[in-house]
Chains A and B, each alone.
Chain A
């Protein structure tokens, strides 16, 4: 009984207080760039059979298969009943950066809040402003198909002590602005490490093997390392990598389509030129 009480206390969600929201004038254009980099729509899109729903809007419901079961990422459009229409700023920030739902439950880290936690709160508010600018779509949530979801969710509170690093991303002042922008996009919104950094026994990212590749987190095949992309001859130089990220296999670049990378690449194609160059500059610095 004592053990259970300790579990219950330790695993309780620890949301940010409303005072964590800074005074901020939302920048919708910045929000859209981060929404694209973050691949939010890739997971929160509607299911193909949900006829009549615009596949370009994040109205949710597309099944996300994970080793623990099938999840249905919910509606992110501003619909008041089924979307985030009546969420406050702090509700949204707690979901995206702490993995805590509006109703105060732990969210499953298949939702990569473990990377989004590194973003400044202002950027997350910009994403929210962008989402609120979209047309509302009514599409009710569908519960995840996972065994003992209730206990699993609660148990995540313990996992978060090691699996969720809440430190914000920090620039490296010895590096150029382009490199820093790339480092931010890759490690924050881009959540590239969620696939490219292998996981340890408790399924937390193993930063001693940062971006070194490994088994695919969704269970099929392997994710390549992002170290030495130029040294190993995979890409000629930064320019070549930029072309690869923007065009993928449409330009004959191999290893840009399978295992979810195709969607990431399609998002890269939509980013401003300077941002893709920054990402490439940062990636080729990983020796």
Chain B
């Protein structure tokens, strides 16, 4: 019967559509979680460097390298997970503190990201305590300037 078939196909369509939606949710949620995991890793990694800057820990080239490696790993994992795609803002159910301005026209998120990559490279090239202390502020400033423009405060 026609009406029965129609009913069936509508139901099937609805299921497919519904599935599609929940997949979109899951995708955006995972992207956001990956972004936040990247940033949490950054927060943890910078902690060890700040301890040296503040004189709470003594300079150790191995600690510096491990921290920068952790940031590079977090950065790569986030790229893999498409954590910075605009699609992460569509249909998400978990809370994000990323501002939509990141994806707006004229946004300089690319430059802010590059400044962070460059600051990491400059720090990685240092070989002693004096060099480390001179190069560190640029790294902190890179985190700061991106958050200033593109992150909402959590409260």
Contacts and interface: CB of A to CB of B under 8 A. Distances in A.
A213 B140 CA distance: 26
Interface stretch (B21-29, B44-52, B74-82, B85-93): B44-52
- Label chain B's interface by main secondary structure: helix
A249 interface: yes
Given A220-B99, A250-B141, A257 B147 contact: yes
Contacts of A171: none
B66 to A, nearest CB: 16
Contacts of B151: 257-258
A75 to B, nearest CB: 25
Interface in B104-128: none
Contacts, number: 69
A261 interface: yes
A233 interface: no
B8 interface: no
A223 B49 CA distance: 27
Given A249-B140, A250-B144, A258 B47 contact: no
- Of the four ranges (under 10, 10 to 19, 20 to 34, 35 or more), the interface on chain A belongs to 20 to 34
Contacts of B54: 243, 251
Contacts of B144: 248-250, 256-257, 262
Interface string A213-227: 110100011111000
B97 interface: yes
A221 B154 contact: yes
Contact of A251 (B53, B97, B147): B53
Interface of A: 213-214, 216, 220-224, 243, 247-252, 254-259, 261-263
Interface of B: 43, 46-47, 49-50, 53-54, 97, 99, 137, 140-141, 143-145, 147-148, 151-155
